């Protein structure tokens, strides 16, 4: 496992996203549940994966509870990142949300507390005062944000009066904007971009096709529409070719492409131990500069069908800063 610096802690370049835990939209309760979560988390720790991402929003708090149950006595081996929801961003709201998360996590401290999504109706000064209270009380070690643009990330740092060590954003081969907008700052200021949906919700593993697309939370993701699955084939072919050269899978190359940069942590979700193992192993795939560029060019050539705009996409655009 490769490790990177996140503020004053060493964390694995590949973490584990746990939106899947407790979320029926990801099939929780149908083929995977608490026992699989326990096996996934234990195997992750065995493999040196120590960054676990959750949120009070996931499964209405269930994800945090499942993570606690799954870690058991191994809590101290893990670095836990959770998030406060956008409707809890007043000073008092942040404090109270953290108390509830701590209870569900069975923890004395949150290693990284992230603002899940900005809320333009609540001043950042109030939110960051809440974060400062938690840090001063020893309940939160480091502060992060999520779905913030560069300007808002820096404004959060000014409001906090210290480093907001990470910004968790959608970052994958089909959503490369953070490479240009956030990574230059992360490199210059020793911050980290936490890449969510690093496999584009499973799409970049190459296992889905026009006759086999997933439902649930992904039913509204227009990238899974048959026309887009067809348009993705050339990129998947390049991923397969690069993967073959490394004795790997296409999804592993998609993850290796992200963590090629030492200021990126990728947090793929996993529904089985096999998926977790494949994802963790991607940290050790060293792409050459030429391979990295070949994959980037193939990704850039992908053009999603313009007329497929789902309600999900519209909501996402609305909440994006």
Ligand X SMILES: NC(=O)c1ccc[n+]([C@@H]2O[C@H](COP(=O)([O-])OP(=O)(O)OC[C@H]3O[C@@H](n4cnc5c(N)ncnc54)[C@H](OP(=O)(O)O)[C@@H]3O)[C@@H](O)[C@H]2O)c1
Residue 71 vs 137, nearer CB to ligand X? 71
Pick the binder of ligand X from 155, 258, 278, 287 (CB under 6 A): 278
3-class SS letters over the chain: CCEEEECCEEEECECEECCCCCCHHHCECCCECHHHHHHHHHHHHHCCCCEEECCCCHHHHHHHHHHHHHHHHHHHHCEEEEEECHHHCCHHHHHHHHHHHHHHHCCCCEEEEEECCCCCCCCHHHHHHHHHHHHHCCCEEEEEEECCCHHHHHHHHHHHCCCCCEEEEECECCECHHHHHCHHHHHHHCCEEEEECCCCCCHHHCCCECCECCCHHHCCCHHHCHHHHHHHHHHHHHHHHHHHHCCCCHHHHHHHHHHCCCCEEECCECCCHHHHHHHHHHHHCCCCHHHHHHHHHHHHCCCCCCCCCCHHHHHHHHHCC
> CB nearest ligand X: which residue?
17
50 binds ligand X (CB under 6 A): no
CB of 120 to ligand X, least distance (A): 16
Residue 21 vs 306, nearer CB to ligand X? 21
Which among 16-24, 122-130, 134-142, 225-233 is the span making contact with ligand X, rule CB under 6 A? 16-24
269 binds ligand X (CB under 6 A): yes
279 binds ligand X (CB under 6 A): yes
12 binds ligand X (CB under 6 A): no
221 binds ligand X (CB under 6 A): no
Residue 137 vs 244, nearer CB to ligand X? 244
- Within residues 109-128, the interface with ligand X by CB under 6 A covers 116
Tell me which of 58, 113, 171, 208 is the catalytic residue. Answer: 58
182 binds ligand X (CB under 6 A): no
Is 185 known to be catalytic?
no
CB of 246 to ligand X, least distance (A): 15
Q: ∠ at Cα 225 (224, 229), nearest 5°?
A: 65
Which among 34-42, 72-80, 88-96, 265-273 is the span making contact with ligand X, rule CB under 6 A? 265-273
Question: CB-hemisphere CA count at 13 Å for 281?
Answer: 14
- Within residues 55-114, the interface with ligand X by CB under 6 A covers none
Q: ∠ at Cα 247 (244, 253), nearest 5°?
A: 70
CB of 92 to ligand X, least distance (A): 23
**Binding letters toward ligand X, positions 136-165, x by CB under 6 A:** ----------xx------------------
Pick the binder of ligand X from 270, 280, 285, 287 (CB under 6 A): 270
Site of interaction with ligand X (CB under 6 A)? 17-20, 26, 53, 116, 146-147, 168, 196-202, 205, 207, 214, 251, 267-271, 275, 278-279
The catalytic residue positions are 58
């Amino acid at each position: 496992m490769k490790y990177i610096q996140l503020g004053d802690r060493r964390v694995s370049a590949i973490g584990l996203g746990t939106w899947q835990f407790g979320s029926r939209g990801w099939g929780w309760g149908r083929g995977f549940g608490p026992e699989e979560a326990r096996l996934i988390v234990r195997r992750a720790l065995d493999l040196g994966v120590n960054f676990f991402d959750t949120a009070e929003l996931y499964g209405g708090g269930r994800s945090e509870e499942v993570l606690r149950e799954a870690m058991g006595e191994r809590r101290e081996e893990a670095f836990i990142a959770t998030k406060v929801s956008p409707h809890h961003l007043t000073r008092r709201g942040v404090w109270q949300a953290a108390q509830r998360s701590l209870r569900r996590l069975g923890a004395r401290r949150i290693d990284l507390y992230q603002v899940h999504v900005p809320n333009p109706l609540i001043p950042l000064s109030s939110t960051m005062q809440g974060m400062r209270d938690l840090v001063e009380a020893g309940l939160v070690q480091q502060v992060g944000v999520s779905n913030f643009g560069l300007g808002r990330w820096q404004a959060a740092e000014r409001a906090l009066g210290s480093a907001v060590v990470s910004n968790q954003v959608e970052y994958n081969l089909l959503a490369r904007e953070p490479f240009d907008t956030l990574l230059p700052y992360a490199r210059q200021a020793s911050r980290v971009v936490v890449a969510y949906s690093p496999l584009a919700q499973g799409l970049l593993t190459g296992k889905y096709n026009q006759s086999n697309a997933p439902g649930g939370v992904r039913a509204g993701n227009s990238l899974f529409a048959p026309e887009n699955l067809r348009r993705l084939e050339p990129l998947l072919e390049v991923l397969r070719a690069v993967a073959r050269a490394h004795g790997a899978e296409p999804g592993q190359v998609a993850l290796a492409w992200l963590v090629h940069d030492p200021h990126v942590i990728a947090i793929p979700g996993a529904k089985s131990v096999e998926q977790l193992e494949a994802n963790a192993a991607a940290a050790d795939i060293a792409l050459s500069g030429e391979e990295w560029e070949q994959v980037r060019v193939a990704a850039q050539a992908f053009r999603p069908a313009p007329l497929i705009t789902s309600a999900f996409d519209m909501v996402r655009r609305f909440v994006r800063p």
